[in-house]
């Protein structure tokens, strides 16, 4: 391939390809699938009877719920593949290194000879990594991010969410509906930073009705993680799962 043949190159961590927010769209599709399923579960357990719909023997099959979520993602992924093919976009899998001058070197697999592609324009869409806070070590098990929370095989006994942003509240909502106790800790005196304040205020009222939100802005001179544990120890109930959403 030459610069004349390739007008643009996209260096991406799939599914970052096509446009940069696509990875977030995949993540969003996962959370939306779980939000819908958990809402149906909660309605079946608590609200259907109000409309004369009695459900007996209701059980949560979390493994099946996760399979459904994965099938939604597989369908979305297939659509992306079709879109790439339709628009004659060639996908090359490998490790890319920018060489300068519009040249990208690609190593397809360990030990294989690298190849080079040049293009007039290069778009870097490699996605993002979670933000971390001092004193918090993400271990992917007890302490993690929303990515891990989308795949837990069991419902946590007590989930602590650090940060009352959109994603944290989504994950907290999913697991609360499925039976977990959820505590959300937010450094700011409001939830949903960046969202219209009136909308955020109304949302906070809804969450407080379900005893879902715990706004916390009294962190002292300790690390945030120490404060989280101290706040939980005060209630003698330390969270068995903690996710960071900042």
> Mean pLDDT for each 10-residue chunk of the chain (246 residues)?
57 53 67 95 92 93 97 89 88 87 85 85 80 81 91 93 90 94 84 93 86 62 57 60 88
Neighbours of 13 (CB within 10 A): 13
pLDDT, position 230: 56
pLDDT, position 67: 97
Residue pointed to by tokens 């259907």: 48
pLDDT, position 201: 92
pLDDT, position 1: 44
pTM, two decimal places:
0.80
- Cα torsion angle, 89, 90, 95, 100, sign: negative
> Among candidates 110, 81, 108, 113, which has minimal Cα distance to 96?
108
């Amino acid at each position: 391939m030459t610069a004349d043949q390739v007008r643009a190159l996209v260096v991406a961590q799939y599914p970052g390809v096509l446009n940069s927010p696509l990875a977030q769209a995949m993540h969003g599709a996962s959370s939306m699938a779980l939000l819908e399923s958990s809402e149906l579960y909660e309605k079946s357990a608590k609200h259907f009877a109000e409309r004369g719909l009695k459900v007996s023997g209701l059980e949560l099959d979390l493994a099946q719920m996760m399979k459904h979520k994965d099938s939604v993602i597989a369908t979305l992924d297939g659509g992306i593949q079709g879109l790439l093919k339709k628009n004659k976009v060639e996908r090359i899998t490998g490790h890319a290194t920018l060489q300068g001058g519009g040249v990208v070197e690609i190593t397809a697999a360990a030990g294989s000879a690298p190849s080079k592609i040049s293009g007039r324009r290069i778009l870097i869409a490699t996605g993002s990594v979670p933000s971390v806070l001092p004193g918090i070590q993400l271990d992917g098990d007890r302490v993690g991010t929303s990515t891990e929370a989308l795949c837990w095989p069991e419902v946590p006994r007590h989930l602590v969410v650090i940060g009352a942003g959109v994603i944290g509240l989504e994950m907290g909502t999913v697991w609360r509906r499925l039976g977990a106790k959820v505590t959300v800790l937010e450094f700011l005196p409001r939830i949903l930073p960046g969202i219209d304040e009136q909308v955020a205020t109304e949302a906070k009222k809804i969450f407080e009705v379900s005893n879902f939100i715990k706004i916390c802005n009294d962190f002292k001179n300790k690390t945030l993680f120490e404060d989280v544990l101290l706040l939980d120890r005060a209630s003698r109930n330390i969270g068995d799962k903690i996710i960071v959403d900042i």
